[in-house]
Amino acid sequence: MDKSIMLQTIKNTFFHFPKAVIATLANAYPASRLTVIGVTGSDGKTTTVHMVHHILVKNGLKTAMISTVIAKIGNKELDTGLHVTTPDPFLLQRLLVQIKSQGFSHVVLETTSHGLDQNRLIGTNIRVAVLTNITHEHLDYHKTFDFYRKAKIKLFRSAPFAILNKDDDSYLTVKKKIPRSSKLITYGFEKGADFKVHKATMLNTSSSVEIRWKNEKITATIPVPGRYNIYNALAATAAAFCVGIKPQDSLKSLKDFPPVPGRLSKVNSHPDIYIDFAHTPFALSQMLSFLKSILTPPGRLITVFGSAGDRDRSKRPMMGSVSAQLSHISIFTADDPRFEKATDIIDEISLGAIKKGAIEISKENIPDRQKPHVFIKEPDRQKAINLAVSIAQPNDTIAISGKGHEKSLSVRGKELPWSDFDAVKIALENKS
17 and 133 co-located in one domain: yes
190 and 45 co-located in one domain: yes
Provide, rounded to the nearest whole percent, the portion of the chain with pLDDT above 70. Answer: 95
Among 204, 238, 256, the domain boundary falls at 256
- The mean pLDDT value for 309-314 works out to 90
Domains contained in the chain, number: 2
Among 256, 283, 299, the domain boundary falls at 256
269 and 247 co-located in one domain: no
Enter the DSSP assignment of 340: S
Nearest to 47 by CA among 225, 313, 243: 225
Distance of CA 312 to the CA centre of its chain: 16
90 and 159 co-located in one domain: yes
168 and 273 co-located in one domain: no
CB atoms within 10 A of CB 132: 27
* 355-381 tens-digit pLDDT: 999 999 988 777 666 567 899 999 999
* Contacts with 335 (C-beta within 8 Å, 6 or more apart), sequence order: 279, 305, 306, 307, 308, 345, 381, 402, 403
Provide, rounded to the nearest whole percent, the portion of the chain with pLDDT above 90. Answer: 78
* 183-214 tens-digit pLDDT: 999 999 988 899 999 999 988 889 999 999 99
187 and 98 co-located in one domain: yes
* 397-422 tens-digit pLDDT: 999 999 999 999 999 999 999 999 99
182 and 302 co-located in one domain: no
Predicted pLDDT of residue 139: 63
Nearest to 45 by CA among 87, 108, 104: 108
In whole angstroms, what is the distance from residue 17 CA to residue 74 CA? Answer: 30
75 and 186 co-located in one domain: yes
* 50-78 tens-digit pLDDT: 999 999 999 999 999 998 878 899 888 87
What's the first-to-final CA gap in the chain, in angstroms?
57
Q: Do 208 and 200 meet the contact criterion of CB atoms below 8 Å apart?
A: yes
Domain that includes residue 50, residue range = 3-256
In whole angstroms, what is the distance from residue 47 CA to residue 91 CA? Answer: 22
3-state SS class at 22: helix
Among 237, 256, 275, the domain boundary falls at 256
**What CATH number should be reported for the domain holding residue 13?**
3.40.1190.10
**What CATH number should be reported for the domain holding residue 294?**
3.90.190.20
β-bridge pairing 374-377 and 329-332: parallel
In whole angstroms, what is the distance from residue 92 CA to residue 403 CA? Answer: 24
239 and 354 co-located in one domain: no
229 and 340 co-located in one domain: no
238 and 272 co-located in one domain: no
3-state SS class at 329: strand
The amino acid at residue 171 is Y
252 and 321 co-located in one domain: no
pTM of the complete model? 0.92
User: pLDDT class for 349, splitting at 50, 70, 90?
Assistant: very high
User: pLDDT class for 162, splitting at 50, 70, 90?
Assistant: very high
What is 118-136 written as a DSSP string? TTTTTTS-EEEEEE----S
